[in-house]
Structure 1
Amino acid sequence: MNNLTIALDVMGGDKGPLVTIPAAIMAVERLPTLSLILCGNQDIIQEQLARHKALNHPQLTILHTTQSVSMCEKPSVAIRSKKDSSLRKAIDLVDSGEAMACVSAGNTGALFGTAHFVLKTLPGVERPALISALPTKDNSQHVFMLDLGANVFCDANILYQFGLMGAVMAEQVDGIPKPRIALLNMGEEDIKGSDHIKLAAAQLSQNPDINYVGFVEGNDIFNNKADVIVCDGFVGNVALKTCEGVARLVYEKVREVFEKNVIAKILGRFLAPTLKKLFKSLNPDQYNGASLIGLRGIVVKSHGNANSKAFFTAIMEAVKEVERQVPQKISDKLEQGLIQRP
């Protein structure tokens, strides 16, 4: 793809332009064919661009907005009253075709609600879902997990659709043929779990085009037992945040150990290259960028507390999905009858 345009919600996230502008500059320096539309307060954006000596960068365009959506804003308020917000304008650009995708670190509920309202879902999809790639013990493999917070409760049919949409992501983004689909549950036995989990399992297992491998427990998320793990948004969000917290805790604890005394510091220097490689593979920042799949356009959600490198990763995720035409591939599956229409 020769020319690629992505809209950024520059004002979204905990630190807004302090993070998003440096990330945008990193992205266009990496990809000469990428153009970014920076949606937000023009004065603030220009100030940050000037600070990074990128004020007149040919790949960066500013779309001035008079509003922004706070991290605690109610989605209904954002949809009704924030039509000139950076979040809304970034999504509007996707809807109009001026941008091929949008990336935001803003309010998850507002982003989900606005994207759903403006872009609508693909035919046959009841609800979009947040999906992200996570590491596994096999460094060459990822596991895609959904939903990560867009839908608090999901019935069996929605979980079934999530499994199929997740399979498309695994096929297109990671090139996995016949990806293994699993449901996150409180046990691997068929008798365990709620009724809607059991019904979703039955639906997935009855589809010959789906490689359903059964239930997995939380401690097996990273054990490469599945390529796609499906759950509702409440469970998925709690599991994701717990995993991120544990990764950061382990990093801090190891660093404390090697700073306790002189001998520990010397040992730490010898082990530094190995530890650095280990923690780089576990660093949540490199997996930043959860995608709202099931919509008629590409929307990528960055962590609200992401740093510039993490937001850059989210931009690169959007680039990858544009290049692989993920929404079109999901739509193709719908037309082939692989997703049950409600």
Structure 2
Amino acid sequence: MGSTRARIAIDAMGGDYAPAEIVAGAIRAQAELDVEVILVGDEEQVATALKQHSSQEKLRIVPSEGTIEMHEEPLSGIRRKPKASINVAMDLVKQKQADAVVSAGHSGAAMAAALLRLGRLPGIDRPAIGALFPTMDASKSVLILDVGANVDCRPKFLEQFAVMGSIYSQYVLEVEKPKVGLLNIGEEPCKGNELAIRTHERLEKNPLVNFKGNAEGRDVLSGDFDVIVCDGFVGNILLKFAEGIGEAILQIFKEELPQGLNGLVGTALLKPNLKRVKQRVDHAEHGGCLLLGVDGVCVIGHGSSQAPSVYSAIRLAKEAVEHQVIDRIQSRTTIAASSSQESE
């Protein structure tokens, strides 16, 4: 395999449908995305899953022992199970044997393993999970962060999220000058709680951020903003609500399409449009969320990920690697840190 291919270590034991669906998505990704996928997991189970496919793709297996179960406390789990699949996958990145990690397993364990094994980037106090949302403008997405890593935040954390989100939007999403918004209950700078008011003040003064003011809930999907920052408590609720809305829209389409022969003809005519709708609102099309702020590319997938979501998550990791997101964030966080020295 060529040395230029991004090497993606995937936690083959993480998720509701592991390892079968993880392996299926990984095979497709290696074949279509020109990446090298490294499957980390129970060697026998992963090999059995690979045998179910006739693909000529040869995927490397790195053995691990056990996984972090959903009921386990993340930090104690990764410490008690040093050879668990998520730990071994993170170690591959730390040892420069892989360029990125993808996991659909215990999200808390993935974050804890990334922090302990990869560490934070200089100048970043708290990593953030960034999720891409569709907007009313079909040509663009909006990056929301944090959507779950930090329930409680300080103003400087949100400021750092804005810097990291701007870099990702600029270099991966190719937005020349990303417009950043602060999620709030009103447009005026004086609106919101103390966190929102103080964060607004900091963002206005930060030269690394193209800050356009507060974004209300109705603005999230408008396309008026490229990056929106909030604390992880609000962001996670927003993420789950958006996923629910997407599923509801798809279900409504299924129920309301005409039945019978005429319905079949109508559905056939609408099929290209329906496919585009699904691509815009179905969270499986995005695959997962980026954990920004750790010293390595890490994509956290949905626990219910099946092969299409796994494929999309690997694509997301590949894009982050190829656009050198980690290096670009690191090159700017020193400046960001110096601008965040004001007393809180």
CA offset digits 1:99-126 (Å, max 9, x no partner) = 1111000111111111111111011100
1:14 is aligned to: 16
Any gaps of 5 or more consecutive residues in structure 2? none
Q: Are the aligned partners of 1:124 and 1:340 in contact in 2 as well (CA < 8 Å)? A: no
CA–CA distance in 2 between the matches of 1:339 and 1:249?
45
Aligned pairs for 1:219-298 within 5 A: 219-259=218-258, 266-298=265-297
- Asked if 1:94 is matched to 2:93, the reply is yes
CA distance in 2, matches of 1:163, 1:209: 9
Q: Distance in 1 between matches of 2:77 and 2:99?
A: 22
Aligned-pair identity (%)? 35
The answer on 1:315 being equivalent to 2:317 is no
CA deviations 1:198-239 (Å, max 9, x no partner) are 101100001233210011112221101111000111111110
- Aligned residue pairs total 339
Question: Matches of 2:286 and 2:237 in 1, distance apart?
Answer: 16
Unaligned runs of 5+ in 1: none
SS at structure 1 position matched to 2:97: coil
Counterpart CA distance in 2 for 1:207 and 1:277 is 38
What code does the residue aligned with 2:43 have? Q
**Residue 218 of structure 1 corresponds to which residue in structure 2?**
217
Equivalent position to 2:30, from 20, 28, 53: 28
2 CA distance for matches of 1:161 and 1:330?
10
> What is the TM-score with the length of structure 2 in the denominator?
0.93
Aligned to 2:7: 5
Give the root-mean-square deviation of aligned CA atoms: 1.8
The match for 1:130 is 129
CA deviation after TM superposition for structure 1 residue 77, in Å: 2.0
Runs of 4+ deviating beyond 6 Å: none
CA distance in 1, matches of 2:143, 2:261: 42
Give the CA deviation at 1:263: 5.5
Contact 1:333 1:339 in 2 (8 A): no
The one-character-per-residue Cα deviations of 1:6-52 (angstroms, maximum 9, x if unpaired) are 111000011111211001100111134x2221110011001011111
Q: List aligned pairs for 1:86-235, cutoff 5 A.
A: 86-235=85-234
Report the Cα distance in structure 2 between the residues aligned to 1:69 and 1:339, rounded to whole angstroms: 38
Contact 1:153 1:233 in 2 (8 A): yes
Tell me if the contact between 1:13 and 1:71 (Cα under 8 Å) persists in the aligned partners. no
Matches within 5 A, 1:55-66: 57-58=57-58, 60-66=59-65
C-alpha distance in structure 2 between counterparts of 1:85 and 1:252, whole Å: 37
Per the alignment, do residues 28 and 268 of structure 1 end up closer, same or farther by CA in structure 2, a change over 3 Å counting?
closer
TM-score (norm 1): 0.94
1:259-296 Cα offsets, whole Å, 9 max, x none, are: 55666555444433323322322221111221111111
Distance change in 2, residues 1:265/1:115 (3 Å) = same
Q: Per-residue CA shift, 1:163-185, capped at 9, x if unaligned? A: 11111111111121221110111
